Amino acid sequence: MVASLAGAQALIRVIPDYPKVGIQFQDITPLISDADGFAVVTAALSDVDRSAQLITGIEARGFIFAAAVAAHSHRGFAPIRKAGKLPHHVHSENYGLEYGTDTLQIHQDAMGFGVQTLLVDDVLATGGTMKAALKLIQRTGGVISSIAVVMELTELGGRAAIAQEFPNVKITSLFTI
């Protein structure tokens, strides 16, 4: 039985050289398949910002945690998805990847003007995806109350990259690697 964040973190396994040589992939599947570990992480993420009225999450692994946080804390959930997957009017934001660009989208009516939003994701790496998500939340009229991530890969500098454009947004990481 996992009863602490340290116990939950121990469930994350490292897969060397995935998806390419030199990458130490942090595999969350053992964590989310352990009911107690998943519950501990969900509760901790839920407590990051109780003032937020809405939880947003980024496709794909961020959905797992964001939806669980929304259900656990009795708040709504607004998805931020890859391009072409939302059926109604959307805002779009392009962002850079290591080898190209990608696009995130959110429904234009995902939240009302001034709604305090907690952005939840599985990992903070370089910050590019997170910055695109933050821009989308702003376009809907939402207010970014804070960011909560399961793990932060500190050597990739995502926190600093976000702070350059969003200096007042608080970032909470349950685990740093």
pLDDT in tens, 73-82: 999 999 999 9
Task: Give all domains of the chain, ordered by start, each with its CATH number.
Answer: 48-176 (3.40.50.2020)
Mean pLDDT along residues 104-125: 96
- Is the predicted pLDDT of residue 96 greater than 90, yes or no? no
**Which residues lie below 8 Å from residue 142, measured CB to CB, with a gap of 6+?**
54, 56, 110, 111, 112, 113, 114, 115, 116, 117
Q: Mind telling me the catalytic residues?
A: 61, 98
Range with the poorest average pLDDT among 20-24, 122-126, 130-134, 158-162: 20-24
Q: Taking the model in full, what pTM does it have?
A: 0.94
Within 8 A by CB and 6+ apart from 6, the residues are: none
CB atoms within 10 A of CB 151: 21
CA dist 4 and 11 (Å) reads 11
pLDDT in tens, 98-114: 667 899 999 999 999 99
